[in-house]
Chain A
Amino acid sequence: MRRFIVRRTLQTMVVLALVSVFTFLIFQVIPNGDPASRMAGRTATPGQIAAIARSWGFDRPIYIQYLHTMDKIFTGSVVSYSQQINVVDQIKRGLPATISLAAGAGIIWLTFGIVVGLLSTLRPGRLLDRTLGFLALTSISAPVFVIGSVLLYVFAYKASILPSGGYVPLTANPWQWFEHMLLPWISLSLPFIGFYSRVLRGNILDAKYEDYVRMARAKGLSSRRVLTRHVLRNSLIPVMALWGLDFAGVIGGGAILIESIFDLQGVGQYAAESIQTLDVPPIMVIVMYTAVLVVVVAALVDILYAYLDPRISLNG
Chain B
Amino acid sequence: MSTKELLAPASPPGEELRIQVGAGPYRLALRRLRRRKGAVAAGVFFLAIVICCLCAPLYARYIAHTGPDDNHISATVIVGGHRHNVVSLIGIPIGPTWGPRFLLGADFNGRDVAVRLLYGGRNSLEVGFSAMAITMVIAILVALFAGYYRGWVDSVLVRLLDVIWAYPAILLGVAIGTSLTLGGISLGPLNLKGGSLYIPALIIGFVNIPYVAKPIRGQVIALREKEFVDAARTLDAGGLRIMLTEILPNLSSTIVVFVPLMIANSILLEAGLSYLGAGVQPPNPSWGTMISDGVRLITSSPHLVLAPGLMLVLTVLCINIFGEGVRDVLDPRSASRGVRR
Contact = CB atoms under 8 A, between A and B. Distances in A.
Are A and B direct contacts in the complex by CB distance below 8 Å? yes
A30 B182 contact: yes
A311 B159 contact: no
Contacts, number: 199
Given A125-B341, A141-B264, A141-B320, A150 B174 contact: no
Contact of B14 (A26, A146, A315): A315
Contacts of B339: 124-125
B179 to A, nearest CB: 5
B203 to A, nearest CB: 11
A2 to B, nearest CB: 19
B336 A208 contact: yes
B312 interface: yes
A294 B14 contact: no
Contact of B171 (A150, A290, A295): A290
A138 interface: yes
A257 B271 CA distance: 11
Contact of B168 (A22, A27, A145, A253): A253
Given A146-B309, A238-B9, A305-B12, A191 B182 contact: no
Interface stretch (A79-87, A91-99, A172-180, A270-278): A270-278
Nearest to B183: A31
Contacts of B171: 252-254, 256, 271, 286-287, 290
* Chain B CB within 10 A, most for which of A15, A146, A205: A146
A142 interface: yes
A146 B175 contact: no
Nearest to B178: A275
A15 B210 CA distance: 14
Interface stretch (B48-56, B126-134, B229-237, B295-303): B295-303
Interface string A223-265: 0000000000011011100100110011011101100110000
B173 to A, nearest CB: 10
Contacts of A203: 9-10
B174 A311 contact: no
Contacts of B329: none
The listed residue with most A CB atoms (<10 A of its CB), out of B6, B162, B182, B313, is: B162
Interface stretch (B106-114, B141-149, B275-283): B275-283
Contacts of A205: 336-338
B212 interface: no
A30 B178 CA distance: 8
Contacts of A15: 159, 162-163, 166
A143 B4 CA distance: 17
A-side interface size class = 35 or more
A18 interface: yes
B167 interface: yes
Contact of B10 (A22, A124, A207, A252): A207
A124 B291 contact: no
B277 to A, nearest CB: 6
Contact of A191 (B1, B299, B340): B1
Contacts of A71: none
A90 interface: no
Interface string A145-167: 11001101100010000000000
Contacts of B167: 19, 287, 290-291, 294
B259 interface: no
B170 A32 contact: no
A218 interface: no
A253 B169 CA distance: 10
A145 B275 contact: yes
A116 interface: no
Given A32-B182, A124-B337, A308-B12, A137 B175 contact: no
Contact of A141 (B11, B12, B317): B317
A14 interface: yes
Contacts of A157: 298-299
A195 interface: yes
Contact of A254 (B9, B170, B338, B341): B170
A206 interface: yes
A27 B268 CA distance: 25
B139 interface: no
Nearest to B221: A315
Nearest to B1: A191
A56 interface: no
Interface in B248-295: 264, 268, 271-272, 275-278, 288, 291, 295
Contact of A235 (B10, B276, B336): B10
B160 interface: yes
Contacts of A134: 321
A199 interface: yes
Contact of A276 (B178, B180, B295, B306): B178
A143 B320 contact: no
Given A207-B10, A275-B278, A26 B175 contact: yes
Interface string A183-213: 0000000010001001100110111111000
10 contacts: A124-B337, A142-B313, A143-B272, A191-B1, A206-B333, A246-B2, A287-B167, A295-B166, A311-B12, A315-B14
Interface of B: 1-2, 4-6, 9-15, 159-160, 162-163, 165-168, 170-172, 174-176, 178-180, 182-183, 264, 268, 271-272, 275-278, 288, 291, 295, 298-299, 302, 305-306, 309, 312-313, 316-317, 319-321, 324, 333, 336-341
Given A18-B160, A153-B298, A286-B171, 18 more contacts: A30-B179, A125-B341, A134-B321, A143-B272, A143-B309, A146-B313, A157-B299, A203-B9, A203-B10, A207-B10, A208-B336, A238-B10, A256-B171, A276-B178, A287-B175, A309-B12, A312-B13, A315-B14
